[in-house]
Amino acid sequence: MHFALVHGAYHGAWCWDMLRTELKRDGHSTSAVDLPCEDPEAGAECYAELVVRAIPPGTAAVLVGHSPGGLTIPVVASRTPTLMTVYLCALVPVPALSFDAQHANIATGFHPSAPAISHSDGSASWPEAGALEVFYHDCEPKIARDAAGRRRRQHWRATQEVTPLHELPAVSAAYILCTDDRMVSSEYSRRSSQKLLGFEPVEIRGGHSPFLAHPRELATLLERVSSGAPEGTPG
């Protein structure tokens, strides 16, 4: 099975390395690309094109989107053979709306000691202290520090633009909710999975970055939901 992994805000393809190792060990292939999050003109169309190019030709993939990566994976699914879309503590698009126009409350109530910084060019970034608290609080300290040091600035066209989707693609889907997520609330995850996708979410322990904190557990869960387990079936 091929897993196409789409990172979220501030990250890059590097964040999937530990998970890719686990999936490869189980006999799967993977792809991941650096999305141009530092480009103010790059939105879901641009992101999706890069993801499609990285998937081996003729391969039907399981698309895994983390956080804002959830706005990209259904666009990819509308353009390439797809086995399933998996939303990992992810934002879910609504056709004919931008994500911002959904007025969705994803807040968890957690307040970091050093919050995100907004820049004059419209981008945002995270101080290391805040990133450690919000994204990597359950990771091993070295892994957390390395990850915090690799984060990039993020522009927000993907959340500000009207999604290019006219409807969600007619493929199987699953939503994975992280039980101790400090970035995307369990309430938002559960509501989006139920109301927008039509099924109950699957839960995994820990915070917003399970690919770094619990890669073996996440690999096993991805394999389970993509094998046709009931949790991934719309209803």
pLDDT tens-place string over residues 156-194: 999 999 999 999 999 999 999 999 999 999 999 999 999
Residue numbers of the domain that contains 120? 2-232
Phi then psi dihedrals of residue 137, to 5 deg? -65, -20
Give the predicted TM-score (pTM) of the model: 0.95
Distance in angstroms (rounded) separating the CA atoms of residues 151 and 128: 9
pLDDT in tens, 46-77: 999 999 999 999 999 999 999 999 999 999 99
Tokens in use for 235? 């209803």
Look at the block and give the residue holding tokens 């990566």.
Answer: 69
**Res 231 pLDDT > 80:** no
Task: Give the Cα-Cα-Cα angle 46, 126, 124 (nearest 5 degrees).
Answer: 45
Assign residue 166 the CATH number of its domain: 3.40.50.1820
Other Cβ atoms less than 10 A from the Cβ of 233: the count is 13
Instruction: Return the DSSP state at 200.
Output: P
Q: How many domains does the chain have?
A: 1
pLDDT in tens, 112-124: 999 999 999 999 9
Q: Are 184 and 207 in contact (CB under 8 A)?
A: no
